[in-house]
């Protein structure tokens, strides 16, 4: 294999890894619960169970949820709890919480302005 081809392969591989890292999405996952038809996902800025009581859950039909679609505020910590629900809509007690620190990684920055001109 030529040196040029090796460099090209390394270059392409580096781009793929960088792109994967750049577009990495936070995924919330948990173990499958026996007899669960779906799950209710709750999140709050407070860890106490009582802070989750009046929240509207997000429905998850599998044991994972792409949380990149949630409109988090930067530089805050959010706690998640899960309830497993059966087909009769009876739900378990909430799970223990897991936290997610939101830094600027989830924020999509606007594109760089272009076409800058100065006219007189």
Report the chain's mean pLDDT, rounded to a whole number. Answer: 73
CATH superfamily ID and name for 24-106:
Immunoglobulins (2.60.40.10)
Residue that is written with structure tokens 């909430």 in the block: 94
In tens, the pLDDT along 14-55 reads: 544 444 444 456 788 888 888 899 999 888 888 887 877 778
Beta strand pairing status for 27-29 and 64-66? antiparallel
Instruction: Tell me the C-alpha distance between 90 and 76, whole Å.
Output: 32
List the chain domain ranges. Answer: 24-106
Q: What letter does residue 75 receive in the DSSP assignment? A: T
């Amino acid at each position: 294999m030529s040196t040029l081809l090796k460099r090209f392969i390394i270059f392409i591989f580096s781009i793929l890894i960088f792109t994967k890292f750049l577009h990495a999405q936070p995924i919330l996952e948990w173990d499958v619960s026996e007899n669960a038809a779906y799950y209710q996902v709750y999140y709050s800025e407070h860890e106490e169970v009582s802070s989750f009581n009046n929240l509207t859950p997000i429905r998850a039909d599998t044991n994972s949820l792409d949380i990149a679609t949630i409109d988090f505020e930067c530089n805050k910590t959010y706690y998640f709890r899960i309830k497993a629900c059966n087909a009769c809509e009876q739900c378990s007690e909430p799970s223990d919480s897991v936290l997610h620190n939101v830094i600027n990684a989830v924020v999509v920055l606007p594109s760089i302005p272009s076409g800058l001109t100065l006219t007189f």
